A and B are shown apart, each in its own frame.
Chain A
Amino acid sequence: MSVALAPSRRDLVRAAAQRSLTRRRITGRIAQALCAVGAVASVAPLVALLYYTISRGAKVLSWGFLVNAPTPPGIPGGGISTAIVGSAEIVGLALIIAIPIALLAALFLFERSGRLAVALRFSADVLTGVPSIIIGIFAYALLVLPLHAFSDLAAAFALAVLMLPIMIRADEEAMRTIALDLWEAGIALGARRGRVARSVVLRGALPDLVTGNLLAIARAVGETAPLLFTLATPAAAMTLLIYTDGTQAFPIAQETAWGTALVLLAFVLLLSVAAKIAAWRISRRAR
C-alpha cells in the first residue's frame, strides 16, 4: 500500500496547527479577558447605583422621613409618607384590576390553542415592549381627559395595563411548566375543566404564579412615566416625587429624592429577591 493520506497536506496541516497555536491561545486569552472585563462592566453600574443611593439616601433616612407628610419648601422635618402611601394605594388598586384578568386570560391561553390564542399571546408580548409613557398617555386619554380630573384610579389603571401582559405571560408559563401533566391527568379522569383549573392547575402552579406576579409588581412600583399623566401632585407617589425633587437645583430637594430613591430601591429589590427565592425553592423542590 502506498502513502494513503497525501503526506504533504498532512505535514502542512500539522505545521499550521503548531505554528498557529501560540497565536490562537493568546487571542483566546485576550478575548476571554475582554469578556471578563465586560462582565465586570456589567456589574459595575449596579454597584455604583447601590453605593450612591445607599450612601446619599441613608443621610436623610429616618423614622420621621418615612412617617411625616411633606412640608412646604424651606420648612425642615418633612417626610414622604404621602408618597409611600400613595404608591401603595395605586399599586394595590392596580393589582386588584390586573391579577384576576391576567389569571383568566392566562387560563384561556393555557386551554386553547389556535389562531386566537396565538394572536393574543403575540399582542401580550408586543404590549410588554410598549413604552410605559405610551400607556400613561392612554390612561390620560381614556380616563383623565373625559373626566377632567387626575386620579389615583387613572394611575392604577395605567399600572394595571402595564402589568397585564407581563402577568399573563408569566401566569401562562407557570401553568404550563408545573401543571400540564396534571391537567391532562385530571381531564383524562373525566373531571370538569373548571374544577381541574381550580384544584390542579392553579394550586400546582401557585408558587410560580407568585414569582411571576411579584416581578410584575416590582416593575409597576418603579414606574414613573404613566403617573406623570395621571396624578395631580408629585407627592402622590414615590417615583413622581423622585422625578420632581431630583430635577430641582436645591440640595434639600435632591436629598429628599435620594432618600425616596433608597426606600423605593429597597422595596423593589426586596420584591425581586423574594421572587428569586421563591423560584429557587421551586426549582429545588422539582429536583
Chain B
Amino acid sequence: MSGDPFARAEPLTLMAEPRAEGEPEMATREGVPARLADGGRRGTVAAANTAASALTHGRPSSATPPAVTLEGVRVSFGDHVAVRNVTLAIPARQVTALIGPSGCGKTTLLRAVNRLHDHTAGHVDGSIKLGDIDVYGPDTRPELIRRRIGMVFQRPNPFPAMSVFENVVSGLRFNGVHGRALLRDAAESALRHAALWDTVKDRLHQPAVRLSGGQQQRLCIARALAVEPDVLLMDEPCSALDPIATAKIEDLITRLAADVTIVLVTHNMFQAARVSDQAAVFLLGEDRVGELVESGATDELFNEPKNPRTRDYVAGRVG
C-alpha cells in the first residue's frame, strides 16, 4: 500500500514493546494486556462467534473474529429502558451501520460500547467485549478501553481553546505520549489519514474553531485516529454538515475501514447503503423500547430483509 503515511517506518528505538518481525499482525491487534484481561473466556463468546459468522461477508474477513461482541445488551436510565436485547457481532475492519428512526436507542447503545454511560445515569446490562476483553469487567480500566475504542460525535467538537495541532495530539498527551518529534509525526499521519493534512498543514497552530464544520469533523476524526484505536464509533457524524462535507466524510469512512473497525450510527438509510458493509436495524418495540430487529450484510438487508418489520422500515413505511 504505497503512499499510506501510516506505513512509514518508525525508528525502532521508539518502540516500547519490540516484537519479532513476522509475528502475525493479529497478535498485536487482538493481543490482550495482562491487566485488561478478564478471567477467561465465557460461554457467550461462542454464541457471539456464531452470530459473527452469519455477518461475515463482503471484505475478506472470514478468518477475523469480531472486533466487538455484544451479547444481550440492555441500557436503561432508572426505570426507563432505552434499548434492550442487543446481540451483535461487529466484524473487524468493516463498516457496521446501526440504522433506524431516531429515539430507538442507537446512540445510547453506541455510547455503551466505550463506557460513556459511566458518567451519566445510564446503566448497562449484558456483555460487551472488545476482542476477548470484557469492556465492563471488574479489572477493566475505562480509560484504556476508550483509548482503543475511539469516538466521533454528532456535532464537531474540537477543543475550543486548542489549536489544530494541539487538538490532534491531545489524545496522545492524555495517554502519556510526549516527545515533540513523535507528536509531530503522529499528528501529520493522523491528519493525512483524515484527508485534512493538505488543508491545514500551513495553519496547524491556528485555533481549531476557525476551520469549517466539515473540516472540524475531519479534525475530530484525526484526533480520534491519533491514539491508534482498534474501533471507531461514529455517532451520526454528518448530521451537522452540508452535503459536500458529508460526501467527503462518507468517502473517508470507507477508506478508513481498511485500518479500523467502524461502527456508524445513522438514520439515513442511503448513507448506510453507501458506506456500510454490515447493517443492524433498530426499531421501537411495542412498549416503546428500542430493540435490534435484524442484522446482516447491508446488501442483503436492504434487498431481501427477512423480518417483516425491517421490510417495512426499509420500504419507508415506518420511522
Contacts and interface: CB of A to CB of B under 8 A. Distances in A.
Q: Let me know if chains A and B touch directly in the complex, using CB atoms closer than 8 Å.
A: yes
Interface in A2-17: 2-17
A19 B176 contact: yes
A254 B7 CA distance: 80
A17 B33 CA distance: 11
Given A17-B144, A21-B143, A8 B10 contact: yes
A9 B144 CA distance: 16
Contact of B186 (A3, A9, A11, A25): A9
A20 interface: yes
A137 B300 CA distance: 84
A20 B143 CA distance: 11
Contact of B15 (A3, A4, A8): A8
B8 to A, nearest CB: 6
B4 interface: yes
B177 interface: yes
Interface residues of B, number: 36
Contact of B259 (A5, A15, A21, A23): A5
Interface string B115-152: 00000000000000000000000000101100110000
Contact of A4 (B148, B176, B258): B258
Helix, strand, loop or mixed for chain A's interface? helix
Contacts of A19: 16, 176
Contact of B17 (A5, A6, A11): A11
Nearest to B227: A13
Given A4-B6, A10-B228, A16 B1 contact: no
Contacts of A23: 176
Contact of A17 (B6, B17, B25, B176): B176
A231 B35 CA distance: 74
B6 A13 contact: no
Contact of A15 (B1, B16, B25, B182): B16
B176 A6 contact: no
B7 A21 contact: no
B12 interface: yes
A50 B305 CA distance: 71
A7 B227 CA distance: 12
Interface string B166-180: 000000101111000
Interface string A14-32: 1111111101110000000
Nearest to B59: A1
Nearest to A11: B17
Interface string B28-71: 10000101000000000000000000000000000000000000
Instruction: Choose among A6, A17, A18, A24 the residue with the greatest number of B CB atoms under 10 Å from its CB.
Output: A17
B147 A4 contact: no
Contact of A12 (B35, B141, B174, B177): B177
A4 B29 CA distance: 11
Nearest to B16: A15
Given A6-B189, A8-B10, A9-B228, A17 B4 contact: no
27 contacts: A4-B4, A5-B260, A8-B14, A9-B10, A9-B14, A9-B186, A9-B189, A9-B228, A10-B228, A11-B16, A11-B17, A12-B10, A12-B15, A12-B16, A12-B177, A13-B175, A13-B227, A13-B228, A14-B17, A14-B147, A15-B17, A17-B143, A17-B227, A19-B16, A19-B176, A24-B174, A25-B143
Interface of B: 1, 4, 6-10, 12, 14-17, 19, 25, 28, 33, 35, 141, 143-144, 147-148, 172, 174-177, 182, 185-186, 189, 227-228, 258-260
CB-CB nearest 9 A-B residue pairs:
A20-B176, A15-B16, A8-B10, A4-B259, A17-B175, A10-B228, A16-B176, A16-B177, A13-B228
